Structure 1
Amino acid sequence: MFYELFLRSFADGNGDGIGDFKGATEKLDYLSELGITGIWLLPIMKSPSYHGYTVSDFYSVNPAYGTLEDAKVFLERAHAKGMKVILDMPLNHTTITHPWFLKALSGDNRHRSKYLWLEKPEWLKARRPWDNQKVWSKLNGEYYYALFGPGSPDLNYENPELREEAKRILSFWLSLGFDGFRFDAAKHIFDFSKETGKCEYQHERNIAFWKDLTEHCRKINPDAVFVSEVWDDPDIVDLYSTVFGIGFNFPLAYAIKENILVLNPGKLAEALYHVMNRYFGDEILYASGTFLTNHDMTRLLSYMKGDESKALLAFSVLTTLPGIPFIYYGEELGMKGEYNEFANEAQLEPFPWFELGSGPWQTEWKAFASNPPFSGLSYEVQGLTIHSYFSRVKNILHFRKKNSWIGNCKILEIKVKNNVLFLAVEVKGETTLFVHNFNPKAVILEKQGHATLINGELSEFENSISLERMSSAMIK
C-alpha cells in the first residue's frame, strides 16, 4: 500500500516553512503506523515550479528539499522500516529554464535536436485532444512544441542521444537507492505526428520506448517497481501496464466515487465488471494501481460534498478490491481541495499536523485556504480521538495491510441485493465475501461464516448478521 507524498507540503525539517527530506524522515514512523508499505514521492528534482513537474536539472534535488545526502538518508530509513520508495519521473518535458532548452534557443544544434520545433505553418492548427488548447508556444520568435503549456517544452525522443540520457537519469536515481519510478505522462512521449501535423498518440512507439527504458532499469535492479500514468480506456491502459508491471486504474477511481456519491451500488457493480476485468481470469498480466484521488483530482471529501460516511465507504470498497492501493497524502485526515487545472494548489495544501496551523514540522509554504486552522481536521486533534475520521480511515488501512492477500485475489462474482454490494473473491482455493451496505439503515444478512468489521458497525447473532448503514464487513 503506497502513500503519495508531496514533500513540499508534508513536514518541514529546517524551519523555513517548506517540507523537505529531513522533515519527511522524522515522520516515517507516522506512515509506518498508518500501515503504509510504500511511498510515491512527487518530483523532487530542481525545478522553478512549486509542483516540480517542470525539471531544470534531472540530476539534483530541489535545494528547498535538501541535498542528495538528505534524500539518501530518507531512503535508508524508509527501507529500514520495510518501505519501498518510488520517484515520480517526468521525462516527457523540461522547463524553459533547463540548460538544454536555453542552449537550443541560442542556436546550439546538438541541444536544439532535443526538442520539437515548428517546421510547417499548418502545424499551428494542432490542438490538445482533451481540451482543444494550442500546443505550440513562441519564445524569441521561435515556435516549440509544448503540450502541457508554454513552460513545459516537450523533449524529442527521436534523438537517440536523448534516449541514452534518459537511461543515465534513471540509473542515477536507482543508484541513490530509489526502488523504481512512477512515469508521468507515459503515453505522451510520441504524441505529435509530423506526417499529419496533428496531436496523435503513437502507442506502439511509446511502448517500445518504455520497454527499452524499463529493461535497462531491471538490469540495475531486477526488482525495480514501475508505475504508468495513462489516462485512457482500459484496453489502452493494458498495453502500457503490461510493460511497466503496475498501471493506474483511473476508470476504477471514477467508478467508485461517482456511484458512491449517488449511492448506486448497481451501477458500481456493472462498472467493476468492466474496469476490474483482468481480475476475473486465472492469469493477471499486471497489477492494477488502485486509488481514489491524486494530485490531479479533487480531494475525496470535497468530491463527496463533505459526507464522511460516503468517503469512508469509498475507502472500504477500494481496500476490498485486488491490486495495489495508493493513498494520497492527507486523505486519511479528510483534507479538502477542489482541482483546478490552471491553479492546482488547492489540493496540494500543507499537511495539517497542528490545529493552530503552525508548530514543529508544520509546513506553511502556502495559505490554508481549503483546510483552515481550527477546523478540527488536524492530526493533533484527530490522532487522539478514537472515533475521528482519521481513526476510521486508519482502521480501514490496517485491515487491508493485515489482509494483504486481497491484492492478488481473483474476483468470482459481484452482485447487488437490496442496495447491498456483495463481492466474492478467491485466493488459494479459499472464498471470501465482502459486503458493503449502501442503505441509510441497517440490513440483516444470513450468517454464512465469521464476520470481520471493516468500517462502521456490526452485530452478530446466532443465525444472522446486522450490518449498520454505510458499513462494510468481510465474511469468511
Structure 2
Amino acid sequence: MSSWWNEAVFYQVYLRSFQDSNGDGIGDLRGLVERLDYLQELGINAIWVTPFYESPHVDFGYDVSSHKDIDSRYGNMSDFEDLISEANKRNLKIVVDIILNHTSDQHPFFIESRCSRTSSKRDWYIWRDGKPDGSPPNNWEGFERSTWTFDSKTNQYYYHFHYHEQPDLNWRNPAVVEEMFSICDFWLNKGVAGLRLDAINYLVEDSQLLDNPILDRVPDYLRNIYQFNQDPIYTINHPDNHKILKKLRHHIKINHQDDPLLIGEVWVPNFHEIRRFYGENDDEIQLPFNFFLSTLPRGNAHYFREMIVEFQQILGNLLTTLVLSNHDFERATSRYATEENSDAMAKLLATLLLTLRGIPFIYYGEELGLRDCPPETIEEVQDPRGRIRWPDYKGRDGCRTPMPWNSQSQAGFTTGQPWYKLNPDYQMRNVAVQTDDPNSVLNHYKKLLKLRQHCTPLSLGQLTMLGDDITVLAYMRFYEDQIVLIALNMSNDHAQFSLAKLPHQRNSSWKILLSTHVQSKDKIVKKTLTLNPFEGIVVVPI
C-alpha cells in the first residue's frame, strides 16, 4: 500500500540552530513557523523537528525531563499548535523526535526511582549492585567510559548508555511500555504525521549483564556515535527490541488513523540488521534509518556503487532512507570536499541524494553547501561528547552551526548572541545571496526537487546501476515506459561515460534535463557523455 511518505523528501530541522524568534540566541518553534514559506518554496514535503521538550539540556534536548511539555527555550504549546496548523496549510508534514530509550536524571520518574530501593518507580530504570570490590556490574561502555553510575543514596549503580544524566528506562517493565506508548499517542493526537524514534535499537540490554568483547578499534558502523573499542553486542540490537517495536506499531496502527509513520534511528553493523527493523510482515517501523552512505570514507564512485548495490540486493523493494548528513556527524561537504571544490561537490551530492531510489533526508543548511565549523578551543565546545574527548574528538557542534539567512549581523538567525558561532563564510554563503544567484547550490536543490516532483521515475522508479567505472557513478531509473539516466563524475578530472551500450536503450539521442554545470543543460548528446570535474547530469532519451 502506497503511503504519503513513499514520494516524500524530508528536511531535518535542528531546532536550536534554525531560526531564533525572540533574540535569546536559540532557535525555536516560532522561528520555524516563520520559515515555513522558505521550506515550502524549497520543495520539500515533510519536516523532522529535533527535540523541544522540557530538558536540562545536557544533550541539547535528548535528555527529557517532561515528555509532554515544551521547554520554554523553544516556546510553548500554542507555538507548537501553530506549527502544525501552518504546516498543514502548506501541505507540509511534521515529524517529531521521540526519545523512548532514556530520560533525564531530572525527570520525575527517575527522581522517584532513585529515592529508595522500595520506590514504586525503582524498576522503571535499571539498577544493579556492583561487584564485590565495589566496581561497576560489568565492562559496558557507551558515551562514557562506563555505562554505570553509582548512586550513594541507595548504594546501587544505574545504567545509562548515553551520559550519566540520561538513565535508561527498563523496557522489560510493562508499566514503562504503557507510559511510553502513551507519550507517542499524545503527540500523534496533536497532529504530527509521524515519529522519529531516537536510539530505538538500544531499548533492551542483556539481562545477564554479560561483558562486551574488547576490540582493537571502534566498529565502522558505530564510528559516528561511539568512542570506545568495544563491540556492544550486549547493549545494542538485542532481539527483544523487535518484540517491543511490533507492539508499538500495532498499538499505533489500531489507535490512530492512516498508520502514522515511524522512523527509527538504528546504528547497525549491516543491511541484514536494517532489514529486520521493517518486520517480517511490515509490522515494525516503516523507515529504519540507513546511515551507511554517511560512513563511506571518500567520495569515490566505486565505494558508492558497492554500497548502493548491497542495500538494493538485501532490502529489495523496501524503501530505504537516504542520508548524507545529520546532527550527529560531520557534514558531507566537509567529508568529501575541499573548500575549493565544496560547491561543486555539494551540487553533485545533492544530485545523488535526490535521484537515488529511496526517501531523501536533507539536513538543514545542506541546501546551501554548509561546511562544518568545529570549535577551535575547548572553551568553545558546547557538546558534552566533545568536552569528554577533547582534543581527540571535538564533538558535534561543528555540524550544528546557526542557519545563515542573510549577510547581516548574526546572519539573520538571531538579534542576540547565537548559542554557537556562525560559519565564517556566512556573509557569502546564506539564503539571501544564494536565492539571487541562479547557479547557487540552493537553486540547484530547488531545480532537483522540482524535477523529482514532476519526473515519476525519480520518485517511484526502480533503479539499475551501470558500469564499474571508479570515476563515474551511473544508474538508470525506470517507471513504466519512462527512463532517466543519472551520471555523476566523482573526480576532479574530466570523464566520459558511454551511452552506446546501455540496457533498454531505444534511441540514439539523449537530452540533458539537469546538470550541476549550467552550460550543459538542454544539450543533446548521442554516444558519449563528457563530464566536467564533479559534474552530475540527469538525461532522458528523445
The two structures have a TM-score, normalised by structure 1, of 0.90
Decide whether the 8 Å contact of 2:144 with 2:163 is kept in 1: no
Deviates more, 1:458-467 or 1:138-147: 458-467
| Inter-partner Cα distance in structure 1 for 2:87 and 2:490 | 38
User: Structure 2 vs 1, CA of residues 171 and 405 (structure 1 numbering), >3 Å: closer, same or farther?
Assistant: farther
| Inter-partner Cα distance in structure 1 for 2:525 and 2:372 | 45
Shift of 1:395: 2.7
Shift of 1:463: 3.5
| Inter-partner Cα distance in structure 2 for 1:57 and 1:412 | 47
| Inter-partner Cα distance in structure 2 for 1:239 and 1:312 | 33
TM alignment of 1:50-199, pairs within 5 A: 51-107=60-116, 109-121=119-131, 124-128=137-141, 133-140=145-152, 141-194=155-208, 196=210, 199=234
Decide whether the 8 Å contact of 1:252 with 1:275 is kept in 2: no
Shift of 1:424: 2.0
User: Structure 2 vs 1, CA of residues 374 and 293 (structure 1 numbering), >3 Å: closer, same or farther?
Assistant: closer
Decide whether the 8 Å contact of 1:8 with 1:363 is kept in 2: no
Shift of 1:353: 1.4
Is structure 2 residue 514 aligned with structure 1 residue 472? no
State the partner residue of 2:338: 305
Q: What's the secondary structure of 2:171's corresponding residue?
A: coil
State the partner residue of 1:376: 428
Deviates more, 1:361-370 or 1:210-219: 361-370
User: Structure 2 vs 1, CA of residues 364 and 118 (structure 1 numbering), >3 Å: closer, same or farther?
Assistant: farther
Q: What's the secondary structure of 1:369's corresponding residue?
A: coil
Q: What's the secondary structure of 1:332's corresponding residue?
A: helix
| Inter-partner Cα distance in structure 2 for 1:426 and 1:444 | 19
1:288 to 294, 308, 320: 320
Q: What's the secondary structure of 2:436's corresponding residue?
A: coil
What amino acid is aligned across from residue 73 of structure 2 in structure 1?
A
State the partner residue of 1:250: 291
1:83-126: CA deviations, max 9, x gaps? 11111111100111111111112125211111001235275332
User: Structure 2 vs 1, CA of residues 418 and 24 (structure 1 numbering), >3 Å: closer, same or farther?
Assistant: closer
Q: What's the secondary structure of 2:433's corresponding residue?
A: helix
State the partner residue of 1:273: 309
Q: What's the secondary structure of 1:39's corresponding residue?
A: strand
1:435-455: CA deviations, max 9, x gaps? 122352264754543331242
Deviates more, 1:101-110 or 1:76-85: 101-110
User: Structure 2 vs 1, CA of residues 430 and 404 (structure 1 numbering), >3 Å: closer, same or farther?
Assistant: closer
Decide whether the 8 Å contact of 2:201 with 2:266 is kept in 1: yes
Shift of 1:62: 1.1
Decide whether the 8 Å contact of 2:21 with 2:30 is kept in 1: yes
Q: What's the secondary structure of 1:25's corresponding residue?
A: helix
Q: What's the secondary structure of 1:65's corresponding residue?
A: coil
1:250-293: CA deviations, max 9, x gaps? 112334xx342xxx3233222221133246x4xx2x32111101
TM alignment of 1:398-413, pairs within 5 A: 398-403=450-455, 405-413=457-465
| Inter-partner Cα distance in structure 1 for 2:473 and 2:349 | 12
User: Structure 2 vs 1, CA of residues 205 and 400 (structure 1 numbering), >3 Å: closer, same or farther?
Assistant: same
1:20-62: CA deviations, max 9, x gaps? 2111111100001111100001111111116210000011111
Shift of 1:246: 0.9
Shift of 1:230: 0.9
User: Structure 2 vs 1, CA of residues 123 and 202 (structure 1 numbering), >3 Å: closer, same or farther?
Assistant: farther
Decide whether the 8 Å contact of 1:18 with 1:364 is kept in 2: no
The two structures have a TM-score, normalised by structure 2, of 0.80
Decide whether the 8 Å contact of 1:54 with 1:151 is kept in 2: yes
| Inter-partner Cα distance in structure 2 for 1:99 and 1:134 | 24
Decide whether the 8 Å contact of 2:402 with 2:422 is kept in 1: no
1:211 to 234, 238, 246: 246
| Inter-partner Cα distance in structure 1 for 2:108 and 2:55 | 12
Decide whether the 8 Å contact of 1:9 with 1:365 is kept in 2: no
Shift of 1:375: 4.2
| Inter-partner Cα distance in structure 1 for 2:105 and 2:79 | 27
User: Structure 2 vs 1, CA of residues 178 and 399 (structure 1 numbering), >3 Å: closer, same or farther?
Assistant: same
Is structure 2 residue 434 aligned with structure 1 residue 421? no
Among the aligned pairs, what percent are the same residue?
28
| Inter-partner Cα distance in structure 1 for 2:415 and 2:461 | 40
User: Structure 2 vs 1, CA of residues 39 and 208 (structure 1 numbering), >3 Å: closer, same or farther?
Assistant: same
User: Structure 2 vs 1, CA of residues 290 and 395 (structure 1 numbering), >3 Å: closer, same or farther?
Assistant: same
Shift of 1:358: 2.9
Shift of 1:378: 2.0
Q: Provide the alpha-carbon RMSD of the alignment.
A: 2.5
| Inter-partner Cα distance in structure 2 for 1:411 and 1:24 | 35
Q: What's the secondary structure of 1:452's corresponding residue?
A: strand
User: Structure 2 vs 1, CA of residues 364 and 189 (structure 1 numbering), >3 Å: closer, same or farther?
Assistant: farther
1:386 to 421, 438, 441: 438
| Inter-partner Cα distance in structure 1 for 2:373 and 2:332 | 9
TM alignment of 1:335-354, pairs within 5 A: 335-337=370-372, 341-342=385-386, 343-354=395-406
Q: What's the secondary structure of 2:305's corresponding residue?
A: helix
Is structure 2 residue 30 aligned with structure 1 residue 11? no
Shift of 1:195: 5.2
What amino acid is aligned across from residue 218 of structure 1 in structure 2?
K
User: Structure 2 vs 1, CA of residues 270 and 374 (structure 1 numbering), >3 Å: closer, same or farther?
Assistant: closer
Shift of 1:404: 5.3
